[in-house]
Amino acid sequence: MVHLSLDGTDPDALTRGEMTGRKQAMHAVAALKAFMPGCEDAKLRNFGMTLGIRDTRKIDAVYNLTGDEVRGEARFEDSIGIFPEFIDGYGYLILPTTGRYFHVPYRSMLPCGVKNLIVTGRTIGGDKVSHAAVRNMMCCAVAGQGAGVAAAISVKSGRGFAELDIAAVQRELLRQGARIT
């Protein structure tokens, strides 16, 4: 019920956000008690330990995923997993109820101009709307499994992330039970 816009990389902004967010949460409880039937006796049991930051930094990847691709069920030859059309943020709310999904491309985890680095989780390359999908914990797990497999194959083969045989990565993901198509 409480959303703030702040710079998640600035400690002072985070402190102000903690204070403002807690005040807004108390106002939300008061509003529920006053205007929502059945909530007259509602109480706030506790606060989260910290703010939940949705967006700070992302990489400029070899391939940056777009919101149109997420919404259009994009398919990629270098898919390391799939994720449903679930977008929550930046004015969009699309819940995963339709069976629609997109591929998560391996190259969206490879930063431009940086060798021997793979980046996963909510920081993978893409625009704001695609970020509203890939930042979800479940998609972070999909990307994390792909990155972990790529790291293992990189060590075994002695090849950098940009030179990996993506088919070998995909075979191992399939062996582990991942759905990549």
User: pLDDT at residue 2 above 90?
Assistant: no
pTM, to two decimals: 0.83
User: pLDDT at residue 91 above 90?
Assistant: no
pLDDT value for 177: 97
Q: Where are the domains of the chain?
A: 1-53, 67-175
Mean pLDDT of 97-103: 93
Mean pLDDT for the chain overall: 93
* pLDDT tens, residue by residue, 119-155: 998 899 999 999 999 998 899 999 999 999 999 999 9
Q: How far apart are CA 15 and CA 26, in angstroms?
A: 17
Tell me the pLDDT band of 94, cut-offs 50, 70 and 90.
confident
3-class secondary-structure state, position 44: coil
* pLDDT tens, residue by residue, 74-84: 999 999 999 99
Q: At what angle do helices 166-175 and 137-157 cross, to 10 degrees?
A: 120
Q: How far apart are CA 125 and CA 127, in angstroms?
A: 7
Regarding beta strands 87-89 and 79-84, do their DSSP bridges make them parallel or antiparallel, or are they unpaired? Answer: unpaired
Tell me the pLDDT band of 53, cut-offs 50, 70 and 90.
confident
Residue 134 CA to chain centroid, in angstroms?
Answer: 3
pLDDT value for 73: 96
Tell me the pLDDT band of 57, cut-offs 50, 70 and 90.
confident
Tell me the pLDDT band of 93, cut-offs 50, 70 and 90.
confident
Tell me the pLDDT band of 48, cut-offs 50, 70 and 90.
confident
More confident residue, 97 or 3: 97
**Residue 90: exposure state from Cβ atoms within 10 A (0-12, 13-18, ≥19):** middle
pLDDT value for 89: 82
